[in-house]
Amino acid sequence: MRDLKISEVNSLNKAIDILEILSKEKEWVTINEIIAITKYPRPTVYRLLYTMEKRGLIRYDSASAKYNFGFKFLEYSNALLASQDILQESEFTLIEMYKKLKQTVLLATVENDSLVYIFKRERAAEGIMYTSVVGQKRDLLYGALGRVLLAYLPKEQQEKFLNDPLPQWTPHTISDKASLLQDLEKIRSEKLCVEINEATIGLGGLHLLFLD
């Protein structure tokens, strides 16, 4: 991401703040909930919501007076995924892997120090399912996939990321910097990462690396 010496568009930043709220909430939200979080004046929030509704970026449900994402984002999402060279080059292999293993297969990339899923084929299962969503962002230390991506970042980018306190999702999560650095070195050496119960109790992941 570039750091230019120009001023940002304040109204656009406010609109994006509203979209960020919608992206984090699982349910539809009211204008009062948005105002409570953003602290923006009601007229400002209302104008932004109405403008985005007119452009298809959000939807308004008149029965509940609540807002959610609009279907326009599906167009943007498809365009973005179509532009990803890594996805175009690997999709056939990923689908074949899914057919043979009959397990969930994920592909992710790194964006602004976060893991972003760009491909998913999910194993059908009965009962409660724990799932990831294409476009979803997670911490780079979340699960085996994130750790593999972190292991192959440039050293200076790794150090910047590891300067912050390490998250701990379960008692099994590696939360010590020295231990994590050893694990990253092991991943680079073995081209393999296995994690069990570190991101979520009862779940694990296996990631093999195929490098040109």
Residue 194 is inside which H or E element, if any? strand 192-196
Contact status, residue 22 vs residue 68, Cβ threshold 8 Å: yes
**Where does the chain have alpha helices with state H?**
10-24, 31-38, 42-54, 72-82, 85-101, 143-151, 155-162, 177-190
CB atoms within 10 A of CB 105: 19
**Selection from 13, 12, 11, 33 nearest residue 22 by Cα:** 33
pLDDT at 35: 96
Contact status, residue 181 vs residue 162, Cβ threshold 8 Å: yes
pLDDT at 64: 93
Contacts 24+ apart (CB under 8 A), 18-24: 18/45, 18/48, 18/49, 18/52, 19/52, 19/57, 19/58, 19/69, 22/58, 22/67, 22/68, 22/69, 23/69
For residue 34, the SS3 value is helix
pLDDT at 160: 79
Q: Quick one: 166 exposed, middle or buried, by C-beta within 10 A (0-12, 13-18, 19+)?
A: middle
From CA 102, how far away is CA 122, in angstroms rounded? Answer: 8
Q: Which residues of the chain, if any, have pLDDT below 50?
A: 126-128
pLDDT at 127: 43
In DSSP notation, 119-146 reads EEE----SS------TT-EEETTSHHHH
From CA 117, how far away is CA 105, in angstroms rounded? Answer: 11
Contact status, residue 170 vs residue 197, Cβ threshold 8 Å: yes
Beta-bridged to residue 110, according to DSSP, are: 115
